[in-house]
Amino acid sequence: MGPLEERHGPDGITYLLDGEPVEDGITIDMLLPAGRWLTGAYRVVDRRVVFAFAVGGEWERSGDPPMEAIAIVVPRATIFRRLEERRSRES
């Protein structure tokens, strides 16, 4: 759990969480105010780290595919945790 660490290598920028590479598209949690967590997908879009998460709305009743919002995040200033860590704390 913690901020993403930026590493520069021959293939460009890689982000690490707890010393391990974060793969594009994985599901992780992002810390919100008051100790709440939001589950979403880590993505890199145009060299920016974004966090995509589901939003509610009319689509829930209509059976349409889920809608999502995307937030651009500052990797070193945002706290993330892997789902495995959440599960181990909940057990």
User: What is the predicted pLDDT for the residue at 39?
Assistant: 94
User: What is the predicted pLDDT for the residue at 66?
Assistant: 82
The more confidently predicted of residues 32 and 88 is: 32
- The sign of the torsion formed by the CA atoms of 45, 51, 57, 61 equals positive
Percent of the chain with pLDDT over 70: 97
Q: Is the pLDDT of residue 72 over 80?
A: yes
CA distances from 71 to 4, 20, 51, 58, 89 (A): 15, 23, 5, 21, 26
- Backbone conformation region of residue 61, classed left if phi is above 0, alpha if psi is from -120 to 50, else beta: alpha
Q: Which residue range is the domain that position 21 belongs to? A: 5-90
Strand partners, 5: 16
Radius of gyration of the chain (CA): 14
Tally of residues, the chain: 91
Q: Number of folded domains in the chain?
A: 1
